[in-house]
Amino acid sequence: MRILHHLPLSPQSRLARLMLGEKRLPCELAVEKIWEPSEEFRRLNPAGEVPVLVEDSGMVVPGARVICEYLEDVYPEPPLLGRNVAERVEVRRLLDWFDGLFQQEVTVNLLGEKVMKRHFGLGHPTGSVLRTGYKNLRYHLDYIGYLAETRTWLAGPSLSAADFAAAAHLSALDFLGDVAWATAPAVRDWYSRVKSRPCFRTLLNDKVSGLQPPPHYSDLDF
């Protein structure tokens, strides 16, 4: 069976899970504590990061972006990286946006401080860093809201990896109760559509020891 080495709250892992689910590719999940990486995991991915996909054939595909491209290459249906050149550019621009800007400006400051810092033994969250994260999140919610208001899906007329990348980050933050949905109704409407996809179900059932998501986390009608 195909295996995805992952962490439940890692947005990059969540993106890979959503891509696999939407393409109906069954997959076993293996939690990988990247803060105490095994020799074996280092061999799978010298970068020491999740997710890493291992196919039945033994093919190893490390990294969310690489997994997205690989899945589209080998299992093209349904297409999730755009249906023509212009759409592919826009989907990949948004993958860059969430993997780069959103990750650095929001996710590292909130999820990184509250969860990963503890795992890596780096102490408690720093208030000023959290405040920066919340401030940046407001700006990013505005941008996502603008996209959601002007397009059917974030990258254009079709559901794509861009929606999954955004929803992967927001769902991980939502698990921490960090998303002020009431302030961003257009984002909430779009997110509830993504959340209703069958591929999203496993994310909503995630359990993380020591953390309790807010009740609305798994509610499709939040």
Quick check: 164 binds its own copies (CB under 8 A)?
no
Quick check: 47 binds its own copies (CB under 8 A)?
yes
Among 36, 38, 74, 122, binds its own copies (CB under 8 A): 74
Instruction: Report the residue number, 57 or 209, with the smaller CB distance to its own copies.
Output: 57
Quick check: 46 binds its own copies (CB under 8 A)?
yes
Among 39, 43, 77, 85, binds its own copies (CB under 8 A): 85
The CA distance from 97 to 95, in Å, is 5
Q: Which stretch binds its own copies (CB under 8 A): 83-91, 119-127, 150-158, 172-180?
A: 83-91
Angle among Cα 176, 181, 187 to the nearest 5 degrees reads 115
Q: Which residues of 92-122 are buried (b: 16+ CB within 10 A; e: fewer)?
A: bebbebbbeebbebbbbbbbbbbbbbeeeee
76-85 long-range Cβ contacts below 8 angstroms, 24+ apart: 77/23, 78/22, 78/23, 79/158, 80/19, 80/22, 80/23, 80/159, 80/160, 80/161, 80/164, 81/160, 81/161, 82/155, 82/156, 82/158, 82/160, 83/158
- Site map for its own copies, 118-157, x if CB under 8 A? -------------------------x--------------
- Reply yes or no: is the peptide bond before residue 26 cis, omega within 30 of 0: no
Q: Total binding residues for its own copies by CB under 8 A?
A: 24
Quick check: 39 binds its own copies (CB under 8 A)?
no
Quick check: 105 binds its own copies (CB under 8 A)?
no
Quick check: 21 binds its own copies (CB under 8 A)?
no
Quick check: 220 binds its own copies (CB under 8 A)?
no
Where does this chain bind its own copies (CB under 8 A)? 46-47, 59-63, 65-66, 69-70, 73-74, 85-86, 88-89, 92-93, 96-97, 100-101, 143
